[in-house]
Structure 1
Amino acid sequence: MHRSYQPLKPVTNRYLQQRWDQGDYENHRRRVSVALPVVDTKGTTTPAHIQLKRKKLQLHHERLSAIDRDNRLLTSKLADIFGSKGLLDHRNQYHLKSLNADRRREELLLISRQNQAIYHRITSRQSEYRRQLWLDDWERAERRREDISRYPRDLAEKQRSCRKVKFAAVEDDERETSCRNTDTHRS
């Protein structure tokens, strides 16, 4: 085996050099396995007051005590129900009363009085609009327009109703006679 060993430096005895190198290597491996780290990678230790979180514990205990109290109340009510021989107590002996009901009632009465006063003022007031004056003014405007216009309004309506559509000679004669008949009826 020492014949296959090739040392890094020139030596006189390969066998001894191999034993020394093997011993150095084992010594190195032992020191590496026992060696402690130089760099501290553990991190900082958290303080005790942060680890314990007393406020969270206090809230948890309060919650548990509230649940415990509610459970005791429920068990006492269930015990009363079981011991009552099946009778029902479903009537409430108290009446709900609002603390500001009187004030709200006074406000409603005040508002209703004000509304009544406004209603009476509105109904007692005479209207300022005169419909008859508007109608008379409209008739005067119509008469002026008729006087000013070049063509009377009735004539345009008569012409619209007697328009001719020429499809055939027979129909034209019938239309002319029907328009003349309507003109005589209107006059």
Structure 2
Amino acid sequence: MLQSMNTYRQMKNCDMETCAASHLAYQPLLPTANKYLQQKWDKASYDLHREKVTSTKTTINTKPPKNYVHLSVKLKKLKLEEERKAKIDRENSMLKEKISSIMRTTGGVNSRKFYDKKSLGKEKRQVELLHITKENQMILCRLSQCKPHYNVRKWHEDWLKTLMVMDSIARYPRGRANQQKRQEQPIKKGGDCDKGQKGTAEETTHSHTSRKPSGNDENEEEGLDPAKADMK
């Protein structure tokens, strides 16, 4: 291989037709008896090598990939464009009809249109409201059916017992302070002092007269009933 390359370089430098004694200047790699024959043999082997190189086939496919029809034509894109054009044509026809109707009827404007106000979440809110009302009714039913754990009547009886115990262990009778406060009257200020003193004197005389003994009082002091006193 290297020998053939070297011979090709030497043959390129020297043309055989112009230079008749080129074989004399040829320098083979190996020692030979005839330079002319060695040059011809090297040239033949090199030509055979070049033919083999040109006729060889590659083991790796370096060709471009195959072009498929559905990739080049793109039917989906064409279909979308057709649908878009059909939509535009339909809208144009509707607009044309509207313009023609306006031209015929002098273009009257009808702005008195009444629409019912609708809520998008109305049904959902109604369902949630029904669900909440049902749960509240169930909770109310459970609360009404449950029995109380504490007895208020028993609490009242216990409190009466404690009052009795407090009265029994008290040193002074209960409620005497409140009675004394009710009996006391506020002393008036200023020039009403004399009137207050006169009123107190009159009250004292009235109280003495009211303390006259009577039959009923005597009976009460003795601890007898008036009916029994009559019987006596």
What is the TM-score with the length of structure 1 in the denominator? 0.40
Bigger Rg over Cα:
2
Higher relative contact order (CA 8 A, sep 6+): 2
What is the TM-score with the length of structure 2 in the denominator? 0.33
